[in-house]
Structure formats: structure tokens, C-alpha cells
């Protein structure tokens, strides 16, 4: 469970995020969010230059039917378990830094699979630590990573993704060990 306090994104006296459908229970919102984001994921994704703006456009595309703030950086501090994510006042700066890193590395193009996977794991680990949005970070990260991988010549088969292994690798990457995440990405490349 994510923790953010005080949280203007939630209904009063609730941990349920305010949403366009007005769902006030976590289970109803979860089902609605899953249906809406799945439908949007079947549509063409926004075009862009693999930039911060493009990343925000992908989040907006996926979550536009669910949240008014889709595609906009969060304004509250956020933590999961004992891990705190980037403070909101630093998100824009950290996103520019990370996407600058990606641009300097030519979006990981012209690399063998192992080097691509290492670079992609680092990018994904940093992106996760920033956690730019109040909700929907994981889905947006994977969707954007798939775009990045396609353009780098190493398309990923996300249908083969083991969710539990990926979550464990993401937790390890948050603690500085990106090797398991790199290995997963290497195995997902088609």
C-alpha cells in the first residue's frame, strides 16, 4: 500500500483516489482502472521523442479516463513500505536529469542485448525511484520501456513477464542492485 499524507488525491477520510467515475471503494476503482487502462493500451500510443513530455503523454493516454490529473507530476510525498520516492519538489529536475542521461546514451540504440538490458534496467530503476505520478507508475514505466526497447532494436515480449519476479527485481533495484532487473529485461527481449 502506498502512503501519502496529507493526500488531496483521495476522497475525504478515505484512501481511495478521486476518480472520474466516482468510485469510492478500492475494489471498484481497481476494476474500473484496469478496464480503462487496458482499453487505452490497445490503442496506438502517443508519438514522441522518448522525452519527459512523451513519458507524461503516455501516462495521460493510459489514465485519461480515470483521473483528472493523468499525465501530471504528483504534488504529495509518497512512500511504499519503508521506501520513500522522490519528493514532489524534485520530480521535474530528476526527470530532466534522467531523460538527459537517456538522450546522451542515444536512447540505448546500437547496443548489443546485454548492454541494452543493463542500460534499460538502470533507466527503469531510476524512473521507479522518481515515481513521478500519484498512481500508475508501474504500467507507465513498462509501456514506455517497451517503446524504448522497440526503438533500440530490442523489442520486449511483456506477455512473458513474471509479475512477482519483476516486482522483486524492482525492489532490489531500488536498493541499488540492478542485475536481476537487467537479466529479466534481457530474457524478455525477442
Domain range annotation of the chain: 2-188
pLDDT tens, 23-64? 999 999 999 999 999 999 999 999 999 999 999 999 999 999
Q: What is the pLDDT of residue 150?
A: 97
- Residues 45-56 pLDDT 10s: 999 999 999 999
pTM of the model: 0.94
Q: Residue 190 has what pLDDT?
A: 79
Q: Taking a C-beta distance cutoff of 8 angstroms, is the pair 82, 97 a contact?
A: no
Provide the CATH number for the domain formed by 2-188 in this structure: 1.10.3290.10
Residue 46: count of CB within 10 angstroms of its CB: 17
pLDDT over 60 at 1, yes or no = no
Task: Give the chain's mean pLDDT.
Answer: 96
Amino acid at each position: 500500500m502506498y502512503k501519502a499524507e496529507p493526500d488531496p488525491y483521495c476522497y475525504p477520510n478515505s484512501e481511495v483516489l478521486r476518480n472520474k467515475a466516482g468510485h469510492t471503494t478500492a475494489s471498484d476503482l481497481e476494476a474500473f482502472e484496469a478496464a480503462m487502462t487496458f482499453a487505452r493500451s490497445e490503442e496506438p500510443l502517443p508519438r514522441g521523442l522518448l522525452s519527459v513530455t512523451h513519458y507524461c503523454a503516455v501516462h495521460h493516454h493510459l489514465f485519461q479516463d480515470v483521473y483528472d490529473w493523468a499525465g501530471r507530476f504528483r504534488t504529495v510525498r509518497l512512500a511504499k513500505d519503508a521506501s520513500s520516492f522522490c519528493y514532489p519538489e524534485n520530480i521535474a529536475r530528476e526527470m530532466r536529469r534522467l531523460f538527459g542521461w537517456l538522450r546522451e546514451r542515444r536512447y540505448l540504440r546500437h547496443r548489443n542485448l546485454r548492454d541494452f538490458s543493463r542500460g534499460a534496467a538502470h533507466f527503469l530503476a531510476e524512473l521507479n525511484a522518481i515515481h513521478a505520478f500519484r498512481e500508475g507508475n508501474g504500467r507507465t514505466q513498462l509501456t514506455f520501456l517497451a517503446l524504448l526497447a522497440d526503438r533500440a532494436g530490442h523489442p520486449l515480449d511483456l506477455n512473458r513477464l513474471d509479475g512477482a519476479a519483476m516486482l522483486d527485481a524492482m525492489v532490489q533495484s531500488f536498493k541499488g542492485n540492478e542485475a536481476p532487473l537487467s537479466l529479466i529485461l534481457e530474457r524478455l527481449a525477442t
